[in-house]
Each structure stands twice: as C-alpha cells, then as structure tokens.
Amino acid sequence: MNDKLNQILQKQQKQIEEPQKKEDDVVQLVGFIIGQEEYAVPILSIQEIIKPIEYTRVPSVPNYILGVFNLRGSVIPLIDLRSKFKMDPSKVTEETRYIVMKGKDNTAGFVIDRLTEAIRIKSSRIGPPPETIHAEKGLVYGIGMRDENILTILKVEALLKRDF
Amino acid sequence: MEDIQEILEDFLVEAFELIEQLDQNLVELESNPDDLELLNSIFRVAHTIKGSSSFLNFNILTQLTHHMEDVLNKARHGDLKLTPEVMDVVLESIDLMKTLLHAIRDNGDDTSIGLDITDICRRLDVISNGEDVAEVIHQSAEETTAPVAADENADYSKLSDQEVEEEIERLLKMRKEEDRKRKEGHAKESAAPAPVAPTPSAAPSFAGLGDHDESEEAPVEKTTAKRNGGESNNAPAKKESASTMEQTIRVEVKRLDHLMNLIGELVLGKNRLLKIYDDVEERYEGEKFLEELNQVVSSISLVTTDLQIAVMKTRMLPIAKVFNKFPRMVRDLSRELGKQIELEISGEETELDKSIVEEIGDPLVHIIRNSCDHGIEDAASRRAKGKPEMGLIQLKAYNEGNHIVIEITDDGKGLDADLLRSKAIEKGMISEREADAMSDKEAFSLIFRPSLSTAKVVTNVSGRGVGMDVVKTNIEKLNGIIDVDSELGRGTVIKLKIPLTLAIIQALLVGAQEEYYAIPLASVLETVRIPLDEIYTIEGKNVLRLRDEVLSLVRLSDIFGVKQVYEGGEHTYVVVIGLAESKLGVVVDTLVGQEEIVIKSLGDYLQGIEGIAGATIRGDGRVTLIVDVAALMNLAKGITVDIRATAETTVKTKSVPSDYVVLAVDDSAMDRNIMKKSMEPIGVTVIEASNGQEALNMLKSAEYSIDAVLIDIEMPRMDGYTLAGEIRKYSKYKNLPLIAVTSRTSKSDRLRGVESGMSEYITKPYSPEYLESVVRKNIKL
C-alpha cells in the first residue's frame, strides 16, 4: 500500500515538473491570413479580436494607417497589414477582423483577412526569418514549420513601433 | 527617522505657504507702515519658521530668521521706522530665507548650498540697533561677499574706499561681540520652553486650498486653517480671519486627475445616452415609455453636468496664487528702474484650473516687466506730459462665460504702430507692402514676433525681444487668445482670454466633406455663410473681405487632404478662428453645432500629428479629431488652392446617358425587371439591390456614383421609409432623387414618404412611360 502511494506521489511530482519543461518549448500563437499567406502572433500579445467597426481617418499619416477607432472609450490606431506588407487592397468581408495587440507602451488594431486557429508550436520548429522578405523586414520573428504549411511569425513590438 | 521626515515635510509645506503670503504683506506694509496687524502677522511668520527650523536643526535658517525677528519685533513695538531702505534689507533676507527653504526641500539640509548669511545678518542687526541704515547698506554693498546684489543708491561712491573699509572693520567687530553675547542669552531662553513642534495653529496658514508644487511631496492629509485667498491683500482689517476659517483637506493632485478622467468618461456616456434618446424618440414617437426614458436621461445629464462642475471646482485655485508675487516684483522693478509705479490688482479671487494657474505665471511676468520697463515713463517725462508722476499698472481678472480674462493695463507711453512697422521691415519680417496693408492693431501684434524689440537699450529687465514671444507660445498652449490695444501716449491694454479648464472643452463641430472635426470653441471668433464669389485670390492666397477686415481663407479639406466626394453649393461656411493675435478663415462644408467634448490623446503611436490636438468620442460612439488651431494656422500658410476655381469644376462630368446610374431597390426580382425595362429607353445604367440594407451599403461604399434611387416601401430587413431616412443622413445625398415605387396609395403613406425624404411617389401599377418620364425629370436627361 505504502509503496503504491509512494509511486503515485512520485508520478505526480514528475507531472508537476515536466509540463513546465514542455511549456518552455511550446509557443502559443494565434494564426491569421493576410492575402495568401498565414501569419501568427503570440497569443499573450493579443488584447482582443473584434469585428470591423467604424473608424475615423487621420490626416497626414502613411496610407497603411487607416485611422483611429473607439474601443470602449479608448482611441486606438488602426493599421492595415495588407498595405503595410505592400499587398493589393481588398474589401472588407464577413471574415475580416481587427486584432487588437498590446505592447509595452502602445496598443493598436490590425486589419486581417481571416482568423485561422490557435496554434501550439515547438520552439525548435521555429526557424530564423529568410532574408528575401523586403516589405516585412524587421517585422518577422521567425518561420514556423508545420506539417502541412509554414507560418510567418510576426514581432509584435516591431509592429507597434511607429516608423514614420 | 520616519517621524523626522514627516515633520520635515509638514514644515516645508507650511513654510512655503507662509512666505508666499509674507511677500504680499511686506509690500503692503511699506505703503502702510503703521498697520500693526500686518506687522504682527509678518513677525509671527518669522517666529514660526525660526522655531521650527531650530527644532529641526537648520542652524543657518534659524540664525537668519532670528535676526529678522529682531528687526520685526522692534518695528512692531514702534522702536523702528520701516523706511524703504529697511524694507530692502528685510525683503532681501526673505529671499535668502526662500533660497534656504528650497535648499532644504531639495537637499534635506541648509548647509550644502553654502549660502553666506553673515552679511545680511549684520545689516539686519544694524537696523535693529537703530543706526543709519542707508549708510551701512552703502558700505556693505561695497563688500562683494553679499550673495544677492544689494540695492544701491547713486551717492555712495563718493565715500573713499579707505574710509569705508575702516568703518566696516570697526562695526563688524562691535556687532559680532554683541551678537555673540545676545545669542548666548537667547539660546538659554529658547531652550527652556522645550522643542516646539510646528503647530498649524501658531499662525493661520494663509494660502487657501492652494496645493502648490511643494505640497505634492507631502501627501499627508491633514486639516489646516484656510482663509479666503481673495480678501487677503486689500483689507487691513484682518480680524475676521478667525471667523472665515474653513475646514479643508489636502488631496494629492494625482487623485483629482484620476477623478477628472472618470468624469470625462461619464460625460462621454451622457452624450451617447442623449444621442440614443434622440434616435429612440424618432422611432417610437408618442410611446408612453419615452416619457420615463426622457426623465431618466435628463436627470442623468443634469447630475453629470453638476458633477463635472463640482470636480472642476475642486481643481480650481484663485488666481491670487499667481497675482501675489507681482506687488513685490513691481516694487523691485520700480526701484531698479528708478520709476514710480503702482500696481493695482483686482479680481484676484477669480478661479482657474490648477494646470492653467501654473502656466499663466510666466506670461504675466513678461507682460508686467514689459509694462514697467517700456510702458511706464520716468517721472520727469510723465510730468512733462501732464500725467501724474506715479505710473499705474492695473492687473484685472474676471470671468467671461467659459473663459477667464486677464487684463494688464498701463498708463504709459503706448505702442507706436509706425515704429513697430519700420522695425519689422528692418528685421526683414515683413515686406513694405505688407506693412502698408497692416492695420494698427495688426502692427501691435508684431510685438509677439521673436527678436523684435523696440527698446533702444537692452536693460537687464527687458528689451531682448524674447519675452513677448514666450507669452504668445504659452498662451497658445492654453488655447488662449491675446488682444492688444494701445493709444500712443496714453497706454496699452493687453487682454488674455483663457479657457477655464483643459480636459473638457466646448467645441464647434464642423464637417469637411464626409469627415467631421472639432474646433475648440475658445478659438472660434465667429462663423459666417458667404457666397463663393466673395472669395478673391491675391498672390495665390484666398481672401475674404469681412466687414472692414481682409481675412485669409483656407479650406479644411485641403489642410487635411479630405477626399473630395461632392461639390458644395454656391454658398459656403467660414469659421473664423483666432489664436493669440492672429486670425484665419477656415472654409468648411457643414456646421454641425456646439458640443461639450472630452479631450483624449491619440496615444504614442500617433502622437504629434501636425494639425491634430487629440481626439474625442462623440455621442454616436465615433471618434472625432480635434483641430490644433495653432498648427492649423501654420499649415494653412503652405496651402495654395484656388477655392473658387476648384469649387466650380465638377467632381466628374457625365456626358452620355450610360454614365448615369440608377439604383433599383425592390425585394421582388420581377418588379426590379419591370423598372429596368421601363428605363431602357433612357439608356442609363441600372444596378439592383434586393433590400434596404444592401442598397445602403452600396451607397456607402461609394463604388458607384448613383444619380437616382427607385425604392420599394415594403422590404425585408430595412423598409423603404427607413432607407430614405438613412440616405438623407449623408450630407452628400441630401439632393439625391429618391423615388418611392409602391402599391401603398393612402394619403398617410404618401405623407410618410415625404417625411422620410422621398422626392417622388409613384404608385403601382404604373405605366413604363410614366416611370421613364419621372426618372428623366429627376436626373435631368
């Protein structure tokens, strides 16, 4: 009886220790589509995801900044990732969403074409960004390899940094 | 250790409050030397500070205040007459006391700044021993050890250096001897009544609710005696002070700021509620619950407004806080400049938001210095002009609506418009042509340009041409307006008009094409509606003749690059904005109205966009940008668009019938086909929508430029009446022909159609020719 109990206890102890190790290796992301490609950002940097709402244009800013919108009383900038990545503009569809991301000192909403899913990926499967990407230069954290496709993981702090 | 720290903080808060009042009292005392009450209160300040500082072991401060106390005590008992020379020394010693207190606040002790007080103490002693002060002062001025330059009269240089040196030596020795003896005696005395803690009751703290900077460091909530700041400097009768004492509480400014933010949110909520109520009222007219809703909405809006005012009031400080330092300043300046100047203050009880009180001090200092130095003439030339020798500067504050007006009037020589013009030309600021076109008033405002000074000599008071530029920038920062008026030889009046508070403001909402902007009402002078042909172009600039003024014009949509979606009519609206002393006409397409708005920042990401001061959230939940009037005026300079020419060219010309687009809205595909067929002979392009919502989206997307809409009344999702109402909400569709096509024939239906904004009403069944002719008529083909 005592042996058994010890075994169980040991097992529990192991379980407590192991997941931590595992979680260190796994990165949790939220995936979304812009244009043809799938991108992802760390789940913890996302404040919320909302359906498109009305926004107000702001003058004399680069064209990828669509304007500002009202998120429950806060005025938040809205950035179009399509035009930031120099893709052709598209219309707002039923699946368009605003992802509100929160950084150290900034919060901003980003327009994406469609959400995909929450993703868990081992950090060993994330490679460095390829050197060929121009428009997204500096914004890419790495490339995530998945069984069926690859993911471009974006750097949130870089996205939220004012670059004009 | 902690205890000491707490006591120290209390001491500093109290000491700063006390000396603020002290300056005021002392200057008053000079003109009113027999006022015992005043003298007593001044004596008590010195005494209190002495007591507290000796308890806290600030020896230098103790020594200084001790000497002051001696002098004041003598004066109090009538043994000493307070001549201006005596006052100079006393005031100087108070300056030193302030320096020491600042040092204590910053460094925690009074020794680290190494202030030498032996000189001033000696002079104080000389006074208290009743010797000829003037002489001693002259001697000590010779000694350059004094940390603050002593005021000096012209004749001391006649004494030979040798004599002075000897005299000083002799006096010094004697004083030191006496001093030491007396101090020993005193030390014994004051050691007896045990350590005296700084008790607030020892002397009433004067500066009312006043939280000035120093007190932020002491977030200790404690009650303190308060006296109404207003009455303090004009009434010699100080006896009622006991009866006007009020209970007050010290609160951290941060907490008030937080409260103010919350109120801001509440005001937004209130605006939103009002807007929703309007919508609901429209839709459910005559329903009983509306009455109840109305009551709730109005009571909430009333309470919110009251609450907002109440919280704003807690942040209000009497402007006396700023005004108090001016009597002393003018006194010092008049002695320095050798002029006789009297400062008359009124309205110092007028209250202003704390943040504004902090900003307003500097500009006022510059204006008053200017008045003293350049405005008021010296006694001789005043006499020659038949004016009283004593120059007069009036400082007046009063409320005017949501603004406070501060008026600085002097009866000096006034501004010379021609001199200003020629100086400005000389410096290359304006061309001669511009100068000729300038009115006198515009010329006066040249004094606010940097590096323009009419002073022939640069004194250490003013004349460098910096001060007034500072005034302008600071007042602009507060959204204030400056108005200068002057009469040569008679004097100058400078009026500053400043909003009462900064967080919640009144704004004029204007529309530029499809976008809305808020202009702070403080900067709006007037709005006018003008026909386009009154706009003239001079050297690529648009101008308007408004009464006897020529106003430059700029279109808001040109400044902010608003997309041109529709043409205006033959008339346009001009919002005349004024900031500091300049004016500009801003052409807008619509005037929405006046609204109370809460200023929100755009955040770090979008900070510092030129022309935008912030954003606000409107009643409908949309974000509206607030115009930065100062930046707008700058931006306007770079814009050269011929308003009249662009307004006259149409956005897009339509030549052939197929350029015209008619939208047919009907839930039945068959009906839509009949409409289409009927319009075939005209040759217009027909697009279709199966319900109101879809039609509205098509109109909103601006993909097509639609020339007419055929609307069925009964449709799912959104019916024809609602659709018409929604369409009419867009200013660009105000004149779009909306043709109702329906089987509802009753008179009330027709009436409703008219109410909702339909321009024509066709009943089913109709002949194709009839529809054709109605469409033709409406799109003018």
**Which residues are CB-contacts of B204 (< 8 A; sequence separation ≥ 6)?**
B225, B227, B241, B242, B245
Q: Is there a contact between A68 and B617 if contact means CB atoms under 8 Å apart?
A: no
- CA B632 to chain A, closest CA, distance in angstroms equals 12
Minimum-distance CB partner of B623 among A59, A68, A108? A68
Whether the pLDDT of residue B651 is over 80: the answer is no
Model pLDDT, residue B508: 92
Minimum-distance CB partner of A75 among B265, B560, B623? B623
| A154: its two tokens | 């974006």
Q: Is there a contact between B615 and A69 if contact means CB atoms under 8 Å apart?
A: no
Q: pLDDT tens across B615-632, in order?
A: 888 877 789 999 888 888
Helix and strand numbers (H, E) in chain B are 26, 23
Q: Which residues of B touch A90 (CB under 8 A)?
A: none
B132-136, B449-453, B632-636, range with the lowest pLDDT: B132-136
What number of other Cβ atoms are within 10 A of residue B259's Cβ?
A: 16
Model pLDDT, residue B167: 62
Q: pLDDT tens across A67-112, in order?
A: 999 887 788 999 998 888 888 877 788 888 999 998 887 889 999 9
By percentage, how much of chain B surpasses pLDDT 90? 2
Would you kindly state where each structural domain of chain B is located, as residue ranges? 2-211, 253-314, 318-499, 504-648, 657-779
Q: Is there a contact between B610 and A107 if contact means CB atoms under 8 Å apart?
A: no
B183-192, B309-318, B755-764, range with the lowest pLDDT: B183-192
| Chain A, nearest residue to B562 by Cα | A59
Q: Is there a contact between B624 and A59 if contact means CB atoms under 8 Å apart?
A: no
The predicted model gives B454-470 an average pLDDT of 59
The predicted model gives B458-484 an average pLDDT of 71
Contact B411, B492 (CB under 8 A): no
Q: Is there a contact between A162 and B604 if contact means CB atoms under 8 Å apart?
A: yes
Q: What is the CATH number of domain B2-211?
A: 1.20.120.160
What number of other Cβ atoms are within 10 A of residue B662's Cβ?
A: 24
User: Could you tell me which CATH class the domain B253-314 is placed in?
Assistant: mainly alpha
Whether the pLDDT of residue B230 is over 60: the answer is no
Strands lying side by side in the sheet with B760-763: B685-689, B661-665, B708-711, B738-742, B760-763
d(CA B629, CA A74): 23
Residue ranges in chain A whose pLDDT is less than 70: 1, 15-24, 132-137
The predicted model gives B528-550 an average pLDDT of 82
Q: Which residues of B touch A160 (CB under 8 A)?
A: 605
Model pLDDT, residue A110: 92
With H, G, I as helix, E, B as strand and everything else as coil, classify residue A119. Answer: strand
Q: Write the burial class of residue A124 (CB in 10 Å: 0-12 exposed, 13-18 middle, 19+ buried).
A: exposed
Q: Which residues of B touch A109 (CB under 8 A)?
A: none
Side chain identity at residue B297, one-letter code = V
Q: Which residues of A touch B622 (CB under 8 A)?
A: 54, 56, 70
Contact A79, A89 (CB under 8 A): no
Q: Is there a contact between A68 and B602 if contact means CB atoms under 8 Å apart?
A: yes
Q: What is the CATH number of domain B504-648?
A: 2.40.50.180
Residue B270 CA, distance from chain mean position: 25
Residues of B tagged active-site: 47, 69, 370
| Chain A, nearest residue to B556 by Cα | A59
B152-166, B277-291, B604-618, range with the lowest pLDDT: B152-166
Q: Is there a contact between B605 and A55 if contact means CB atoms under 8 Å apart?
A: no
| B660: its two tokens | 């015209």
Whether the pLDDT of residue B234 is over 60: the answer is no
Minimum-distance CB partner of A61 among B601, B604, B609? B609
**Average pLDDT in chain B:** 76
pTM tops 0.90: no
Most B CBs within 10 A among A47, A57, A72, A105, hence the mutation to make, goes to A57
Compute the residue count for chain A. Answer: 164
Which chain A residues touch B if contact means CB-CB below 8 Å? 54-61, 65, 67-70, 73-77, 105-108, 160, 162
- CA B560 to chain A, closest CA, distance in angstroms equals 5
| Chain B, nearest residue to A56 by Cα | B623
| A57: its two tokens | 């244009």
Model pLDDT, residue B719: 82
The predicted model gives B442-463 an average pLDDT of 65
Q: Write the burial class of residue A44 (CB in 10 Å: 0-12 exposed, 13-18 middle, 19+ buried).
A: exposed
Most A CBs within 10 A among B273, B513, B564, B605, hence the mutation to make, goes to B605
What is the per-residue DSSP string for B48-92? HHHHHHHHTT-HHHHHHHHHHHHHHHHHHTTSS---HHHHHHHHH
Query: What does residue B478 show for φ and ψ, rounded to 5 degrees?
Result: -90, 10
Q: What is the 3-state secondary structure (H, E, C) of B348-375?
A: CCCEEEHHHHHHHHHHHHHHHHHHHHHH
Q: Is there a contact between A75 and B603 if contact means CB atoms under 8 Å apart?
A: yes
With H, G, I as helix, E, B as strand and everything else as coil, classify residue A24. Answer: helix
Q: pLDDT tens across B345-373, in order?
A: 988 888 888 888 888 888 888 888 888 88
Minimum-distance CB partner of B621 among A61, A65, A70? A70
- Select from A43, A151, A117 the least CA-distant residue to A141: A151
What number of other Cβ atoms are within 10 A of residue B22's Cβ?
A: 24
Model pLDDT, residue B722: 86
Q: Which residues of A touch B515 (CB under 8 A)?
A: 56-57
Side chain identity at residue B93, one-letter code = S
Model pLDDT, residue A17: 64
- CA A70 to chain B, closest CA, distance in angstroms equals 6
Q: pLDDT tens across B33-86, in order?
A: 777 777 777 777 777 787 777 777 788 888 888 888 788 777 777 777 777 777
- CA B622 to chain A, closest CA, distance in angstroms equals 7
Confidence of residue B201 (pLDDT cuts 50, 70, 90): very low
**How would CATH label the architecture of A26-159?**
Beta Barrel (2.40)
Side chain identity at residue B260, one-letter code = M
CA angle A150, A151, A154 (to 5 degrees): 155
CATH superfamily, domain at B657-779: Response regulator (3.40.50.2300)
Most A CBs within 10 A among B604, B617, B626, B697, hence the mutation to make, goes to B604
Q: Is there a contact between A74 and B561 if contact means CB atoms under 8 Å apart?
A: no
Q: Which residue, chain included where needed, has tokens 């097992």?
A: A11
B259 to A20, A159, B360, B598: CA distances (angstroms)? 43, 33, 23, 14
Which chain B residues touch A if contact means CB-CB below 8 Å? 265, 268, 515, 559-562, 600-606, 609-612, 615, 617, 621-625
| A25: its two tokens | 């290796």
Q: Is there a contact between A60 and B560 if contact means CB atoms under 8 Å apart?
A: yes
Model pLDDT, residue B96: 81
A162 to A158, B369, B611, B738: CA distances (angstroms)? 8, 44, 18, 46
- Select from B331, B405, B401 the least CA-distant residue to B368: B331
**Which residues are CB-contacts of A58 (< 8 A; sequence separation ≥ 6)?**
A65, A67, A68, A77, B602, B606, B609, B612, B625
B87-96, B182-191, B250-259, range with the lowest pLDDT: B182-191
| Chain B, nearest residue to A54 by Cα | B622
Confidence of residue B179 (pLDDT cuts 50, 70, 90): low
Whether the pLDDT of residue B396 is over 50: the answer is yes
| A150: its two tokens | 């690859």
Q: What is the CATH number of domain B318-499?
A: 3.30.565.10
The predicted model gives B1-24 an average pLDDT of 73
- The count of CB pairs under 8 A between chains A and B is 69
Q: What is the largest distance, in Å, between two alpha-carbon atoms of chain B? A: 124
ipTM above 0.90, yes or no: no
Contact A154, A42 (CB under 8 A): no
| Chain B, nearest residue to A162 by Cα | B605
Model pLDDT, residue B646: 65
With H, G, I as helix, E, B as strand and everything else as coil, classify residue A116. Answer: strand
- CA B269 to chain A, closest CA, distance in angstroms equals 9
Side chain identity at residue B197, one-letter code = A
Whether the pLDDT of residue B732 is over 60: the answer is yes
Confidence of residue B182 (pLDDT cuts 50, 70, 90): low
Sign of the C-alpha dihedral computed for residues B549, B550, B556 and B557 taken in this order:
positive
Would you kindly state where each structural domain of chain A is located, as residue ranges? 26-159
Q: Is there a contact between B603 and A162 if contact means CB atoms under 8 Å apart?
A: no
Minimum-distance CB partner of B615 among A61, A65, A75? A75
CA angle B480, B484, B485 (to 5 degrees): 145
Q: pLDDT tens across B163-172, in order?
A: 656 666 666 6
Higher pLDDT: B246 or B481? It is B481
Q: pLDDT tens across B563-620, in order?
A: 776 666 678 899 999 876 788 899 888 888 888 887 887 877 887 788 888 888 887 7
